[in-house]
Amino acid sequence: MRKILISALLAAAALHANCALALDSNSTPVVVTPLASRTTTASGQPITLPQKNVQVLVSTYDIAVGATLPVHRHPFPRYAYVEAGTLKVTNVETGNSNTYKTGDFIIEMIGQWHQATNIGDGPVKLLVIDQVEEGAKNTELRQ
């Protein structure tokens, strides 16, 4: 009985080692490319999350060449990945601007008035992720 138990343990160890090697080999078809790691927004604010009933909203935006979004702000965190194009975002309170291109990740300012303009020669395509209190909207337009 003891020999069977030892044989089973050795077989399991050998199988585990072979699986670990397979996962570590170059044949695994998954490549992870980090895009961003930040603790502050585009304007230097600490990222703060909703305090209750968090809801995640995911949207795509297509912004035509030359288009300018109205002045707006976000009461909750908003993140955007630029899939295509060139977008200039201006904080209208400070006058500071940032330009984002294909492959950039944006952590938008929270509670500060800003607007964005497509300054490229093709449409801007964004993947946008909002974290809001459930049922809330994350864009307020300036009146």
Query: Domain residues of the chain, as ranges?
Result: 54-141
Closest CA to 40 of 127, 112, 132: 112
Closest CA to 83 of 65, 70, 100: 100
Look at the block and give the residue holding tokens 């904080």: 91
The per-residue pLDDT string of the chain (143 residues; one tens digit each, 9 = 90 and over) reads 334 333 333 344 444 444 444 445 566 799 888 888 989 999 999 988 888 999 999 999 999 999 999 999 999 999 999 999 999 999 999 999 999 999 999 999 999 999 999 999 999 999 999 999 999 999 999 98
pLDDT confidence of residue 33: 84
DSSP string for 16-37: HHHHHHHHHSTT----------
Look at the block and give the residue holding tokens 């449409």: 123
DSSP state of 51: S
Strand arrangement, sheet containing 78-84:
54-63, 124-133, 78-84, 105-107
The CATH code for residues 54-141 is 2.60.120.10
CB 79 within 8 A of CB 110: no
